[in-house]
Amino acid sequence: MNELLSIANQNLVLHRHPKNKKETLQAWDSADEYLINYFMDNHLEEKLEGEEQLLILNDGFGALSCFFNDIKRTTITDSYLSLSSIKLNMQRNRCIESHLLLQDSLQSFPENIKVVLIKIPKTNAYLEFLLQKLQGKISADTIVIAAGKVNMIHNSTLQLFEQYIGTTKTSLAKKKSRLIFSQVDAKKEVEEKDIAVTWEIEKQQWKIHNHANVFSRNHLDIGGRYLMDNLPEGDFSKVVDLGCGNGIVGMAALQQYTDAQVTFIDESYMAVDSARINTLKNFEEERSDNARFVVNNGLVGFKARSYDLILCNPPFHQQQTITDNIAWSMFNDAYFCLQDGGELVIVGNRHLDYQDKLTRIFGHCELVTENQKFVILRAIKES
């Protein structure tokens, strides 16, 4: 796996985070390279004057944030893992930290934006959210350039740039990536709308709020529903919804374990805020006071033997890449944080072989139930 990005007379050592000893994927892609080369070939740094700055949206692991080390810039992402990667890669490459402001996607965009570099996200909903916020902060002479893999750029992608920014065109493809150029139309007036969606879970009569970048934002995730319907029996007092998304599994735990404290954890700022909104909206204050909401890389940094039940619907991708690294990390962290006798209960697609992974970590694993698509697995930490 290549860790050295050599581009435009710079050499950067870049790691993905969390770092995997057997990592086979590099921390940048050809879309990062295309953006950097275009910026440098067209001397866009010369466009930045006075307090004007560069805005970077959706940087994956810090290739863009680290490369433009000498330029005053703000990087915005919804991913805690991306922010952590950027910070670590900045330190690794001895970048000037005072030149970079890191923000999550729910914070306000900066003023004085002159150049915008965007990595195309997986979903149009999140792209629309970013473009809507951007539209109110740019002027006619702002330069807006986006990049993504060819298979991620569709007519609907370009239509969003046309809707919020202005006339849009694309470049030729290089290394299976393409650039998008949008000319800012200062006269364009787009009515602001709430990109978030809300729908109801009839069984519980819950109204579920979903920010733009929340997994399964348009409907109830069937894996999450299966886990909600198969929570373990028991008298649990400290529960975790690990990788909580919009919070439905943790909310089911709040409802079933009436004396329990439930901690909702996700690496997406939008997911954790959606879980917070949903819990406050659907539970009485006395019960919602027993809920805690944390943006974090799983259970990293949490105390050993501190929980008696961890519920998890693990992701099998990181950004655009299918991987079991996140699930492995979650399972190992869960073992560390469970009390003796504590339980990890997960839902997963049948083909993902989580049973073998849990057996290797816990020494055993029980199949609780299954259907044609999912399995519910339970592993108990023995003393």
CB-based burial label for 197 (10 Å; 0-12, 13-18, 19+): middle
Q: Are residues 173 and 210 in the same domain?
A: no
Nearest of 117, 127, 103, 150 to residue 42 by alpha carbon: 117
pLDDT (tens digit, 9 = 90+) per residue, 200-216? 999 999 999 999 999 99
pLDDT (tens digit, 9 = 90+) per residue, 65-76? 999 999 999 999
Nearest of 144, 77, 136, 138 to residue 113 by alpha carbon: 138
Q: Are residues 204 and 349 in the same domain?
A: yes
Q: Return the DSSP state at 98.
A: G
Q: Return the DSSP state at 99.
A: G
Q: Are residues 204 and 141 in the same domain?
A: no
Bridge partner list, 347:
376
> Cα(262)–Cα(64) distance, rounded to whole angstroms?
37
pLDDT (tens digit, 9 = 90+) per residue, 120-147? 999 999 999 999 999 989 999 999 999 9
Give the domain CATH number at 262. 3.40.50.150
Contacts 24+ apart (CB under 8 A), 373-377: 373/222, 373/349, 374/222, 374/223, 374/226, 374/347, 374/348, 374/349, 374/350, 375/347, 375/348, 375/349, 375/350, 376/226, 376/227, 376/230, 376/345, 376/346, 376/347, 377/345, 377/346, 377/347, 377/348
Nearest of 135, 73, 127 to residue 100 by alpha carbon: 73
189, part of any domain: no
Reduced to 3 states, what is the DSSP secondary structure of residue 233? coil
Indicate the Cα dihedral angle 42, 44, 47, 52, nearest 10°. Answer: 170
As a whole number, the mean pLDDT across the chain is 94
243, part of any domain: yes
| pLDDT of res. 325 | 78
Q: Are residues 8 and 54 in the same domain?
A: yes
Q: Are residues 172 and 249 in the same domain?
A: no
Helix H segments across the chain? 30-41, 63-67, 80-92, 124-135, 155-164, 222-228, 248-256, 269-282, 285-288, 325-337, 354-362
342, part of any domain: yes
Q: Are residues 224 and 94 in the same domain?
A: no
Nearest of 228, 286, 244 to residue 261 by alpha carbon: 286
167, part of any domain: yes
Bridge partner list, 375:
348, 370
Q: Are 61 and 16 in contact (CB under 8 A)?
A: yes
Q: Are residues 75 and 105 in the same domain?
A: yes
Which one-letter amino acid corresponds to residue 141?
D
Q: Are residues 206 and 320 in the same domain?
A: yes
Q: Are residues 74 and 212 in the same domain?
A: no
Q: State which residues form the domain around 84.
A: 4-183
Of 154, 183, 212, which one is at a domain's C-terminal end?
Answer: 183
pLDDT (tens digit, 9 = 90+) per residue, 259-317? 999 999 999 999 999 999 999 999 999 889 999 999 999 999 999 999 999 999 998 64
> Cα(62)–Cα(67) distance, rounded to whole angstroms?
8
Q: Which of 1-5, 322-326, 353-357 has the lowest mean pLDDT?
A: 322-326
303 C-beta neighbours (distance < 10 Å), count: 9
190, part of any domain: no
188, part of any domain: no
pLDDT (tens digit, 9 = 90+) per residue, 144-203? 999 999 999 999 999 999 999 999 999 999 999 999 999 999 888 888 888 999 999 999
| pLDDT of res. 339 | 97
Of 183, 216, 233, which one is at a domain's C-terminal end?
Answer: 183
pLDDT (tens digit, 9 = 90+) per residue, 311-345? 999 986 444 455 567 888 899 999 999 999 999 99
| pLDDT of res. 315 | 83
Of the two residues 181 and 18, the one the predictor is more confident about is 181
191, part of any domain: no
Q: Return the DSSP state at 300.
A: T
Q: Are residues 140 and 256 in the same domain?
A: no
Q: Are 12 and 89 in contact (CB under 8 A)?
A: yes
Of 161, 183, 205, which one is at a domain's C-terminal end?
Answer: 183
CA–CA distances in Å: residue 54 to residues 44, 46, 125, 291: 10, 11, 23, 38
Give the number of domains in the chain. Answer: 2
Q: Are 354 and 332 in contact (CB under 8 A)?
A: no
33, part of any domain: yes
| pLDDT of res. 318 | 46
| pLDDT of res. 186 | 86
Q: Are residues 72 and 213 in the same domain?
A: no
Q: Are residues 160 and 204 in the same domain?
A: no
Q: Return the DSSP state at 237.
A: S
User: What share of the chain has pLDDT > 90, as a percent?
Assistant: 87
